[in-house]
Amino acid sequence: MKDVIRFIVGLGNPGPQYDQTRHNAGFDYVDALARQHNGSWKTDTKYQAETCSITLSGEKIWLMKPMTFMNRSGQSVASFANFFKIPAENILVAHDELDIAPGSARFKKGGGHGGHNGLRDIIACLGNNKEFYRLRLGIGHPGNARDVANYVLSKGPVEDRVCLERAIDCALNNTSQAIDGQWSKAMNNLHSFKAE
């Protein structure tokens, strides 16, 4: 895989009541990436999102936090990608992942939505195109499907939060390789990491 990333989206819900909830792991990642590269967020009403640009590996990369709430994330992503003519293969979406334990993260290309409503809406709004990249940030599973909604919208215990932050740090350290299209290397480095 040699695809070069031009657009990185972090998924989450807007508003202080959702800060540091499990569902906002994607926001946490792009916030950290913006801080690391001196990006400055601005509200972009055209796309119903906060956006900024950074320079990474010598390339201009757009960052986005959709402000539409999770279930409508695709509206912001697709309108931005269409305007700037960014194909799905050049998009990386960072999101919380129930099937991975806190402290682990994975890069992946393509696939379904796995029940994640943000991914579901992005796939639909991109014309059923699933070929964008994902950064899956582990939050663990509550154990019962009935508990998922409350689980993702709540804050985890301190130890889980620390593990997530360490996984985000590891993802940040491997993002430049992903940007360059060195996916196998970035995937292997991230796959072998587990926060203690």
Residues with catalytic function: 23
Q: Which helix (H) or strand (E) holds 9?
A: strand 7-10
* Tokens standing for residue 30: 């792009």
What is the distance between the alpha carbons of residues 176 and 48, in angstroms, rounded to a whole number?
A: 27
Angle at 33 between CA 161 and CA 93, to 5 degrees: 80
Cα 26 to Cα 1, 144, 146, distances in angstroms: 23, 23, 23
Which spans in the chain are helix H? 25-36, 73-83, 117-125, 148-152, 158-179, 183-191
* Tokens standing for residue 191: 């796959």
